[in-house]
């Protein structure tokens, strides 16, 4: 951050009085610009044991497969964000979303959350940010071509958990990985 979004003057990085962390502080109007973690929400859409993946049409990780997911917007719930991203990226509607995996990636200040959900119908297609959208059996998952580690972890948990039919919420802390979600995808 270089300039204050309140007054347009330069900001500098310093620890405000009474604080313990470096913040961007405006040298002119003294506004403190707090920066907080970002939340990525998505779904694991399932149809008769197969899972829906999207091949990314945009960077980062263009051409790689992902579960439909993206940055949570202001004024929406986590579940709304996950369903919206599923509609935007896969033109897919899902039923009974259930919180399933939650990843803390503290080093890059991101939280990734996925809901298990049933595809409502087979009327899905590639959205603006996808090249193609496809259902995969476990044996067909393109493990080497998955876009993000949290997608791979979610799929691994799903295939393991479905053997028992019990799907506890999985909360894991992951080290920072490249590639990462960037921009506003």
Q: Residues in the site for Zn ion, rule: CB under 5 A?
A: 4, 6-7, 26, 28-29, 31
Phi, psi of 166 (to 5 degrees): -115, 130
CB of 6 to Zn ion, least distance (A): 4
CB of 23 to Zn ion, least distance (A): 13
Q: Which is nearer to Zn ion, 33 or 50 (CB)?
A: 33
| DSSP secondary structure letter of residue 56 | E
Q: Which is nearer to Zn ion, 6 or 35 (CB)?
A: 6
CB of 32 to Zn ion, least distance (A): 10
Q: Which is nearer to Zn ion, 31 or 180 (CB)?
A: 31
| DSSP H or E segment with residue 44 | strand 38-47
15 burial via Cβ count (<10 Å: 0-12, 13-18, 19+): exposed
Which of 55, 130, 51 lies closest to 91, judged by CA? 130
Q: Which is nearer to Zn ion, 33 or 93 (CB)?
A: 33
CB of 84 to Zn ion, least distance (A): 33
CB 51, CB 65: distance < 8 Å: no
Alpha-carbon dihedral 126, 172, 177, 141, rounded to 10 degrees: -40
CB 70, CB 85: distance < 8 Å: yes
CB of 29 to Zn ion, least distance (A): 3
Q: What residues does 135 pair with on adjacent strands?
A: 52
Q: Which is nearer to Zn ion, 1 or 176 (CB)?
A: 1
């Amino acid at each position: 951050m270089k300039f204050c979004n309140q007054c347009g003057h330069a900001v500098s990085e310093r620890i405000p009085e009474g604080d313990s962390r470096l913040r961007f502080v405006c040298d002119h109007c003294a506004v403190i610009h707090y920066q907080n973690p970002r939340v990525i929400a998505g779904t694991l859409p399932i149809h008769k044991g197969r899972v829906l993946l999207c091949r990314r049409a945009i960077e980062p990780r263009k051409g790689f497969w992902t579960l439909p997911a993206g940055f949570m917007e202001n004024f929406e719930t986590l579940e709304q964000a996950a369903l919206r991203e599923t509609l935007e990226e896969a033109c897919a509607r899902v039923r009974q979303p259930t919180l399933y995996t939650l990843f803390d990636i503290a080093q890059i200040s991101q939280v990734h959350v996925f809901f298990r959900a049933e595809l409502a119908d087979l009327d899905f297609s590639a959205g603006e940010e996808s090249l193609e959208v496809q259902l995969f059996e476990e044996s067909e998952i393109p493990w080497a071509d998955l876009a993000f580690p949290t997608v791979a972890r979610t799929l691994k948990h799903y295939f393991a958990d479905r053997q028992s039919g019990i799907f506890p919420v999985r909360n894991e802390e992951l080290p920072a990985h490249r590639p990462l979600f960037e921009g506003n995808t």
